[in-house]
Amino acid sequence: MYPIFTFPSAYLIDTYGTRTALAVGCSLGLVGSAIRMLVNESFAWVVVGQVIAGIGRPFILNCQAKISANWFSADKRAGVTQLLTLVLNVSLIIGIFIPGLVFGKYDVEADESKEIGRGHTFNLMFVEFILGIVCLIPNMIFQQSKPPTPPSESAGIVNR
């Protein structure tokens, strides 16, 4: 979804600011997580939820450079952008480990009815939904698009 929604996300970031773009991205991710919790009804819901969450991803990823430009002086921007990229990559790594924590030592062969596996899969989707809420609420409360005073002359020009 990234190539398709990069341009709308860039427009939203430039027109309405990073706070709005992050709220849209996080909200779409949360809606996608909520829909994925219907996994036991049909796997199609997982696909629909993943597509919706994927639409929100560019709204988050494309904010990094704008956050650096708005909040940090010119000599710090490259490092901050690298740090934000590192945080995103670390969050992906954490996302790889979460299913292992939820499923633990689940044995497919021993669960002939597949009911335990269905419960574990729902639990995984529920954990992802809760993590989405935990990330969205502070963002909605505290996130600002830019500081009250630009950190540098070039940031003041960018903010016009």
Helices 77-103 and 115-142: crossing angle in degrees, nearest 10, is: 150
Which domains are delineated in the chain? 2-144 (1.20.1250.20)
Q: Shortest CA distance to 61 belongs to which of 29, 99, 95, 96?
A: 29
pLDDT in tens for each of the 160 residues of the chain? 788 999 999 999 999 999 999 999 989 999 999 999 998 898 899 999 999 999 999 999 898 888 888 888 888 999 999 999 899 889 889 888 888 777 776 666 665 656 666 777 888 889 889 988 998 888 888 888 888 887 776 666 655 5
Residue 65's pLDDT is what?
Answer: 87
| pLDDT for position 101 | 79
Give me the DSSP letters along 127-157. Answer: HHHHHHHHHHHHHHHH--SS-SS-SSHHHHH
- Give pLDDT, residue 94: 87
Q: How far apart are CA 125 and CA 108, in angstroms?
A: 19
**Amino acid 146: pLDDT:** 81
CB atoms within 10 A of CB 9: 22
